[in-house]
Every structure is written in structure tokens, then in C-alpha cells.
Structure 1
């Protein structure tokens, strides 16, 4: 009976590095997915080319590139004129 328990523990120890390696690989893949999707969402407006490099399905980046080609003068970072002109004071 003692010999059987020892063999079971020995087999469990052989599986441990494989489990650790599996969890490590899963963690790396999960971190990569979070990294690419979150940065692609950020870069979609700022740098759409980078966003498409990170995630080719980024709809906002595709929209930004198409909008920049259709309206080259309308930049999203350009200062906008105030909607209501300010009244001059009589002082």
C-alpha cells in the first residue's frame, strides 16, 4: 500500500511542471489579447494605422481612415470655432 501511494505522488509531481507551463502560456495569451484590444481601441482615433496593425477588425480605426480620406481638412484634433460668438461688453 505504501508503494502504491508513493507512485501516485510521483506521477502527480511529474504533471506539475506541465500544469505550471500550461497556466503560464494561458496567462501570456490572455495578457496579449487584453493588450492588443485595449491599445487598438485607444489608437483607433489617435493613430488608426497602428490600431489596424494591432487589430485588423477595429471598426473605429477603419472609420477614421475613411473619414480622413473623404474629408482631409476636417481633423479631429483641429481647434473648433465657438458655436456662439461672444458679445462685446459696453464698458
Structure 2
């Protein structure tokens, strides 16, 4: 039995640390941060029997990307092995 879900969008945001600020007036990040490098989406599967977690990261979260993830996941198991996949009711699963 395998539980599958997706997470995203993930983004890399610069958060200034304590060593990056000035002594008196710390530099603030604007509220309207632009995503210069885009975002990523994580497809993940957790195998309950073997206690393993598999992940696949993509630029988009479409039904085609989801099917590609399921194909990659299927290749990890022998053809004779039956897989039971648990999904939520997100639109790309249809």
C-alpha cells in the first residue's frame, strides 16, 4: 500500500540572518517578493510496508506530471507485485 500526495509550490526565499543586518537599522525584505527562479512542486509517495519515502520534483503540477510520477513509482516494483495507491480528491488525480 502506497500513499501519494503532492506539495507546492515550493520556493527559495532569502531570509536574512542575524549576521546580515546592520547594527542600528536592519534591512527589511519587501512584502512583494518576486520569484526570480520560479517555483517547484514535490510529488511524494510513502510505502507503508517497506517504510520508504519516494519524491519527485517538477516545475509544474499537472495531471501529466502526476502520471509520470506514477510511472516512475511503478518501475520501482516488480511487475507481478500489486500496488494499492491511496490518493486524495485533488483534481489532477482524476
TM-score range, shorter chain: under 0.3
Which protein, 1 or 2, shows the higher relative CO under an 8 Å CA cutoff with sep ≥ 6? Answer: 2
Greater percentage in strand: 2
Structure with bigger gyration radius: 1
Q: TM-score by structure 2 length? A: 0.23
Q: TM-score by structure 1 length? A: 0.24
